[in-house]
Amino acid sequence: MAALELLSAEGFRPDGRRPAELRKLRARMGVFAQPDGSAYIEQGNTKALAVVYGPHEMRGPRSKALPDRALVNCQYSMATFSTGERKRRPHGDRKASEMSLHLKQTFEAAILTQLFPRSQIDIYVQILQADGGNYCACVNAATLAVIDAGIPLRDYVCASSAGLVEDTALADLSYLEEAAGGPQAALALLPTSGHMALLQLDSRLHQDRLGAVLEAAGGACRAVHAVLDRVVREHVREVTALLGD
């Protein structure tokens, strides 16, 4: 297989984007009737579904209930048809457990858990098609689902990935760019305060380039925030119109 140029001479990426350009982002809230909140997001070819139940009483061992805040329980799973080769284990393997932990950590920081002591909030995320930026799509979908469920958040949690190719920082990596093995960062940001709820970096990146990559990721997160905000407002407008003022 011929090596694909990740950045052409004119500065275009394999899918025709500019380095700082995001993939097309489309989202819908309230896709399911049963759960308290649900959302579906498409970032380029990556499709993710998120569903939120809660806050409700603790299920399982009561001893795990926290006396002063809610417990956030996340599960990340990839559909067996989501990747090029059929996935044998949708969840339960190490990578999925790690993703679930990261999601839990992100949302524990963002949700105002002090308002719901001794209760549990469940967030289930399913990847329907994986084309790079799995974690980021999950976080964005879960944010919308949590907003749909009416659970109070400190701020939107917007996530985006970023990488580096020949001294140029790329935002929102696709699967091709991730598989190439270059440095890649995933960032979950609370846009208003600029705080990072989660930062993850893989592969070798020189210390001096760290700032550039983080800036690119931060910019992409803010762009995602603008889109998500628009989606939420549209949804609220639709729902209130249906309810008839």
Partner 1 sequence: MRETPLSNCERRFLLRAVREGKRLDGRQCYDYRNVRISFGPDRGCCVVELGRTRVLGQVSCELVPPKPNRATEGILFFNLELSPMAAPGFEPGRQSELLVKLNRLIERCLRNSKCIDTESLCVVAGEKVWQIRVDLHLLNHDGNIIDAASIAAIVALCHFRRPDVSVQGEEVTVYSPEERDPVPLSIHHMPICVSFAFFQQGTYLLVDPSEREERVMDGLLVIAMNKHREICTIQSSGGIMLVMDQVLRCSKITAVKVAEITELIQKALENDQKVRKEGGKFGFAESIPNQKITAFKMESAAVDTNNVEEQAEEIITKADPPSEVFATPILHAPGTAQIGEGIENSWEDLEESEREEEVEEEGESEAATSECQRMETEDTSTISKAKDEPIVLSDSEEEEVVILEPQEVPNKTRTQTTSKQENTSKKTFNKRRRKKRAAR
Minimum distance, C-beta of residue 180 to partner 1, in the bound complex (Å): 12
Residues that bind partner 1 (rule: CB under 8 A) add up to a total of 35
Residue closer to partner 1 (CB basis): 74 or 224: 74
Q: How far apart are CA 59 and CA 122, in angstroms?
A: 10
Q: How far apart are CA 135 and CA 101, in angstroms?
A: 11
Contact 52, 35 (CB under 8 A): yes
Vertex 102 angle, CA 97 and 104, to 5°: 95
229 touching partner 1, by CB under 8 A: no
Residue closer to partner 1 (CB basis): 150 or 181: 181
**Member of 5, 57, 202, 234 binding partner 1 (CB under 8 A):** 202
- Taking residue 212's Cβ as centre, other Cβ atoms within 10 Å add up to 15
Binding mask 70-109 for partner 1 (x = CB under 8 A): ---------------x--------xx-xx--x---xx-xx
Minimum distance, C-beta of residue 66 to partner 1, in the bound complex (Å): 13
Query: What are the distances in angstroms from CA 15 to CA 18, 21, 94, 161, 182?
Result: 9, 11, 31, 16, 17
Q: How many CA atoms lie within 13 A of 141 on its CB side?
A: 30
168 touching partner 1, by CB under 8 A: no
Q: How far apart are CA 96 and CA 88, in angstroms?
A: 12
Residue closer to partner 1 (CB basis): 1 or 243: 1
210 touching partner 1, by CB under 8 A: yes
206 touching partner 1, by CB under 8 A: yes
For 140-194, list the strands marked E by DSSP: 158-165, 168-171, 184-190
Residue closer to partner 1 (CB basis): 31 or 176: 176
200 touching partner 1, by CB under 8 A: yes
Binding site for partner 1 (CB under 8 A): 85, 94-95, 97-98, 101, 105-106, 108-109, 181, 183, 185, 190, 193-208, 210-211, 214-215, 218
